[in-house]
Amino acid sequence: MPAPRTVLLTGAAGGLGTLMRGLLPAYGYELRLLDLLPIDGEPGAVTADLGDKEALREAVRGVDAIIHLAGISLESTFEKILKANIEGTYNLYEAAREEGVRRIVFASSNHAVGYTPHPGGEAPHAPKTLIPIDTPRRPDTFYGLSKSFGEDLAQFYWDKHGLETVSVRIGSCFMEPTSVRMLSVWMSPGDGARLFHAALTAEDVEHTVVYGSSANTRLWWDLTTARGLGYEPQDDSEQYAEKLIAEQGELDPGNPDHTRLGGHFVTNPPVWPY
Ligand SMILES: NC(=O)C1=CN([C@@H]2O[C@H](COP(=O)(O)OP(=O)(O)OC[C@H]3O[C@@H](n4cnc5c(N)ncnc54)[C@H](O)[C@@H]3O)[C@@H](O)[C@H]2O)C=CC1
Ligand SMILES: O=C(O)[C@H]1OC(=O)[C@H](O)[C@@H](O)[C@@H]1O
- pTM: predicted TM-score of the whole model, two decimal places: 0.98
Judging by DSSP bridges, how do beta strands 6-10 and 65-68 pair with one another?
Answer: parallel
- C-alpha of residue 273 to centroid of ligand 2, in Å: 14
Residue in 136, 135, 206, 193 with CA at minimum distance from that of residue 166: 206
Q: Is 167 in the pocket of ligand 1 (CB under 6 A)?
A: no
Residue 124: is its pLDDT beyond 70?
no
Q: Which atom of ligand 2 is closest in space to residue 109's alpha carbon? A: 7
- As to burial, measured by CB atoms within 10 angstroms (0-12 exposed, 13-18 middle, 19+ buried), residue 60 is buried
Q: Is 73 in the pocket of ligand 2 (CB under 6 A)?
A: yes
Q: Which atom of ligand 1 is closest in space to residue 83's alpha carbon? A: 29
Q: What is the pLDDT of residue 118?
A: 87
Full set of structural domains in the chain with CATH? 6-265 (3.40.50.720)
- As to burial, measured by CB atoms within 10 angstroms (0-12 exposed, 13-18 middle, 19+ buried), residue 18 is middle
Q: How far apart are CA 180 and CA 87, in angstroms?
A: 34
Q: How far apart are CA 205 and CA 200, in angstroms?
A: 9
Output the residue whose Cα is nearest ligand 2's atom 8.
73
Q: What is the pLDDT of residue 251?
A: 87
- C-alpha of residue 268 to centroid of ligand 1, in Å: 19
Q: Is 218 in the pocket of ligand 2 (CB under 6 A)?
A: no
Q: Assess whether 143 carries a catalytic annotation.
A: yes
Ligand nearest to the CA of 168: 1
The 10 Å Cβ neighbour count of residue 100 is: 10
Q: Is 50 in the pocket of ligand 1 (CB under 6 A)?
A: yes
Q: Mean pLDDT over all residues of the chain?
A: 95
Mutate to test the pocket of ligand 2, among 170, 213, 266 (most ligand atoms within 8 A of CB): 170
pLDDT tens digits, 37-54: 999 999 999 999 999 999
Q: How far apart are CA 126 and CA 211, in angstroms?
A: 16
Q: In which band, very low, low, confident or very high, does the pLDDT at 121 lie, cut at 50, 70 and 90?
A: low
Q: Spell out the alpha helix ranges (H) of 88-219.
A: 88-99, 142-161, 182-185, 189-201
- C-alpha of residue 121 to centroid of ligand 1, in Å: 33
Long-range CB pairs of 53-59, under 8 A, 24+ apart, other chains included: 53/91, 53/94, 53/95, 56/91, 56/92, 56/95, 57/95, 57/98, 57/99, 59/8, 59/32, 59/34, 59/95
Q: What is the pLDDT of residue 208?
A: 98
Q: Is 49 in the pocket of ligand 1 (CB under 6 A)?
A: yes
Average pLDDT over residues 178-192: 97
% of the chain residues with pLDDT over 90: 90
| pLDDT greater at residue 150 or residue 4 | 150
Residue 123: is its pLDDT beyond 60?
no
**ipTM (interface predicted TM):** 0.99
Spatial neighbors of 99 by CB under 8 A, at least 6 apart, are: 57, 60, 61, 62
